Amino acid sequence: MKILIATLLLTLATPLPAAERAHTEHGPVWIDVRTVEEYRQDHLPGAVLIPHTHIARGVTERYPDRHTAINLYGQDGRRSRMAMEALQALGYSRVADLGSLHHIRGQQPEPALQPTGYSAHGE
């Protein structure tokens, strides 16, 4: 019984990087860097909300693998650019700044991951 309880506690206390990795195996992680209110109004299906003001901690906790493919977007591209720069400074090597939500919707669905430092909005 003690072994069962210890196993259960260990399982519950273990972070879920395996679940996060499973998501990234099917393509890049999409991160919306806008505010909670903006995200509630509209966002891409499957996108994770991590406001740009919490990007470093939010990404390192959820996606500790620095080779995770990450697509960032915001409202006008400014916050996604700042988030991309912060993640690159932390060593994330597969980060794409795709600019604004409206810009993404005006392009082909599921844009391919671009090389590090790519900015879809031309800033």
Question: pLDDT tens, 3-14?
Answer: 534 443 443 333
Give the model's pLDDT for residue 93: 96
For the stretch 98-120, what's the b/e string if a residue is b when 16 or more beta carbons lie within 10 angstroms of its beta carbon? bbbbebbeeeeeeeebbeeeeeb
Span 10-37, average pLDDT: 65
Give the model's pLDDT for residue 25: 64
Tokens 């210890």 belong to residue: 6
Query: 1 in a domain, yes or no?
Result: no
Span 18-23, average pLDDT: 43
Query: 3 in a domain, yes or no?
Result: no
Give the model's pLDDT for residue 38: 96
Query: 100 in a domain, yes or no?
Result: yes
Query: 72 in a domain, yes or no?
Result: yes
Query: 39 in a domain, yes or no?
Result: yes
Residue 98 contacts residue 120 (beta carbons within 8 Å) = yes
The rounded mean pLDDT for the chain is 79
Query: 53 in a domain, yes or no?
Result: yes
Q: How many domains does the chain have?
A: 1
**Whether residue 112 has pLDDT greater than 70:** no
Assign 41 a pLDDT band (cuts: 50, 70, 90). very high
Identify the CATH number of the domain in which residue 35 sits: 3.40.250.10
Q: Which residue has the higher pLDDT, 83 or 122?
A: 83
C-alpha distances out from residue 122 to 17, 55, 81, 97, Å:
33, 22, 10, 10
> Where in the sequence is the domain holding 49, given as residue range(s)?
19-105
Query: 71 in a domain, yes or no?
Result: yes
**Whether residue 82 has pLDDT greater than 50:** yes
**Whether residue 86 has pLDDT greater than 70:** yes
Token readout for 58 is 């939010």
